Amino acid sequence: MVLALLVADDAGAQDFAAQRARLVAEVEATYAETRALTGLAAMSPRVRAALGKVERHRLVPTGQRSLAYRNHPLPIGLGQTISQPYIVALSADLIAPQTQHVVLEVGTGSGYQAAILAEIVSRVFSIEIIETLGKKAEQDLKQLGYANIEIRIGDGYQGWPEKAPFDGIVVTAAAPRVPEALIEQLRPGGRMVIPVGEPGGAQDLVLITKRADGGFERRSVLPVRFVPLVPGK
Ligand code: SAH
């Protein structure tokens, strides 16, 4: 009986690994299709390896596990979603992550984007405004063995000044404009990706690159649809 269970479990794990490999191929195909917009023909080897490794099925609600490796967003409860894997990969690539980098994420949600980043950079700080989600992600990521992710419950509009400056910032909820505090907490030469636009309306994934003189370049990368970044109280 126990043996049968173990075998079944192992078969399940292999199946998820195979599904993950197919997801990597699908995301790669989406990169090729969107190349004209993003300027990126292919995933970087680092991001590809992370996507092939992070167990997305362990970060979605149990009932969604069979859908975990589709290239789609999924509901994670409390009206929030885990982003589409293509967007998670692209956001990681746009900040050009390096192994020694310290990165801030705004909008922890399921913890998936944080895990992808944590596979690549040295430390990830992530802020979530909904306590239930932040605590759940913290627990799940710990179980997955990520010791380089720190989660705080709070308002991401203000960033995390005590841990700044950041080499990269990934915002995973849409804001009507780029929060000033986040630009301030970016290191010169650092990059930030943020969906900018009205909730439910047209949004663009925007890439901000901070210059050495403190100013910044801004480029709209592609149209997206994210849940809104809610203003803190
Ligand atoms: N990165 C997530 C996707 C999360 S969806 C993932 O990989 O699963 C966006 C998240 O941003 C939601 O969990 C939402 O609660 C959170 N959020 C919204 N406004 C916020 C704010 N002002 N500060 C921090 N988090 C916020």
Burial class (CB in 10 A: 0-12, 13-18, 19+), 229: buried
pLDDT bracket for residue 231 (50, 70, 90): confident
Q: What is the pLDDT of residues 18-77, one digit of tens each?
A: 999 999 999 999 999 999 999 999 999 999 999 999 999 999 999 999 999 999 999 999
Q: What is the pLDDT of residues 101-134, one digit of tens each?
A: 999 999 999 999 999 999 999 999 999 999 999 9
Can you give the pTM of this predicted structure? 0.95
pLDDT at 3: 55
List the domains of the chain with CATH numbers.
2-224 (3.40.50.150)
Atom of ligand 1 nearest to the CA of 155: 23
Active site residue 44: no
Q: What is the pLDDT of residues 61-70, one digit of tens each?
A: 999 999 999 9
Q: 10: CA distance to ligand 1 center in Å?
A: 33
Nearest to 48 by CA among 21, 73, 24, 23: 24
Average pLDDT score over residue span 170-185: 96
Residue nearest to atom 17 of ligand 1 (CA): 107
Judge if the beta carbon of residue 91 lies within 6 A of ligand 1.
no
Judge if the beta carbon of residue 117 lies within 6 A of ligand 1.
no
Place of tokens 């509009």: 157
Say whether pLDDT at 5 is over 90. no
Say whether pLDDT at 13 is over 90. no
The two three-digit tokens of residue 36, written as one number? 């004209």
